[in-house]
Amino acid sequence: MKIESELFKNKIDIYSTKQTLVQDETKQDNKKSIDEGNEILNHSDSHLEELKTKIQKDTIENENAMLNNWSVEVQLYCILKIYLTYGVLRPSEIVNCLICDCDGDNTTNYINVTKNRL
């Protein structure tokens, strides 16, 4: 029985190694160039500015209606601003994240907007 289980374990390890090699090869093939990355960031920056202008205009004309109703544009602006400022965050880092102008404690995810620190 022990011989069979060792043989079975070795076969699984070999298969796992082959799968990892295939995944690594396809990962390498799917990499984008730096120019494509910069193009995506520039597009995101311009979209962020459009959203910012739209929200500022609404704030002046409609007394913060978009902010008060937490519109899709405001939500998108917030997520895009966090992404472009701090990089990619895990969902667990965004859920229950406190955005403030001071340092939080070690048990809470927070973003200090004055120090620009996560």
Same domain, 83 and 100: no
User: Residue 53: its pLDDT value, please?
Assistant: 93
Same domain, 80 and 53: yes
Does residue 115 sit in helix, strand or coil?
coil
End-to-end Cα spacing for the chain: 53
With a cut of 50, which residues of the chain have pLDDT below it?
Answer: 1
Q: Is residue 36 situated within a structural domain?
A: no
User: Residue 106: its pLDDT value, please?
Assistant: 73
117 DSSP β-pair partners = 112
User: Residue 3: its pLDDT value, please?
Assistant: 54
User: Residue 1: its pLDDT value, please?
Assistant: 45
Nearest to 75 by CA among 67, 83, 87: 67
Q: Is residue 29 situated within a structural domain?
A: no
User: Residue 47: its pLDDT value, please?
Assistant: 92
Q: Is residue 98 situated within a structural domain?
A: yes
The tens digit of pLDDT for each residue in 68-97 reads 888 889 888 988 888 888 777 777 777 777
Q: Is residue 25 situated within a structural domain?
A: no
Counted domains in the chain: 2
Q: Which two tokens stand for residue 29?
A: 């093939």
Contact 66, 73 (CB under 8 A): yes
Q: Is residue 104 situated within a structural domain?
A: yes
Where in the sequence is the domain holding 97, given as residue range(s)? 88-118
Q: Is residue 102 situated within a structural domain?
A: yes
